[in-house]
Amino acid sequence: MCFSDSLREVLADMTGLWASAARRGCPGEMGELVVCVELSQGVEGCLHFGFSKGAALGITEALTGTPWKNIDEMAVSALCEIGNITCGNAVARLALCGVNCKIEPPRRLLEQRPLSLELYTMDTDYGPISVGLQF
């Protein structure tokens, strides 16, 4: 999946964190924090990045260089930016294949988690991260 590959690269480049190859997941693996990025035009849907609490805190710490104990607004902002950069990279790759689409600014998903996702899960040193596409 183009988006999970992009996430692995962004995590390695920005934080130095390792992430496993993506494997098929199930919606129950979305994690405690979900970032949503809307896709429109060439690809319609919503991309969801689900972070376990450990992954969310570990990534935020790696980005800021400061230990993090709680998922606060700064952590959410940092993870939204990871989602934004990931989607930007993936959309650029899709454009090279003739598929153009637009992304909207990422946001934290607070309402009920979607169940109809094409979901992939990756392991990190801090816990699992999921990437799901809802059409």
Three-class SS of residue 74? Answer: helix
CA-CA distance, 134 to 119, in Å (whole number)? 9
Average pLDDT for 123-132: 92
- pLDDT bin (cut points 50, 70, 90) of residue 126 is very high
- Could you tell me the domains of the chain? 2-134 (3.40.1550.10)
pLDDT in tens, 93-119: 989 999 899 999 999 988 766 666 788
Q: Is the pLDDT of residue 66 over 70?
A: yes
CA-CA distance, 13 to 40, in Å (whole number)? 27
Q: Is the pLDDT of residue 82 over 90?
A: yes
User: What pLDDT does residue 115 have?
Assistant: 60
pLDDT in tens, 55-65: 999 999 999 99
pTM: 0.90
Query: Which secondary-structure segment (H or E) carries 24?
Result: strand 23-24
- Between 76 and 114, where is the model more confident? 76
pLDDT in tens, 1-36: 688 999 999 999 999 999 999 999 876 678 889 999
**Residue 120 near residue 105 (C-beta atoms within 8 A):** no
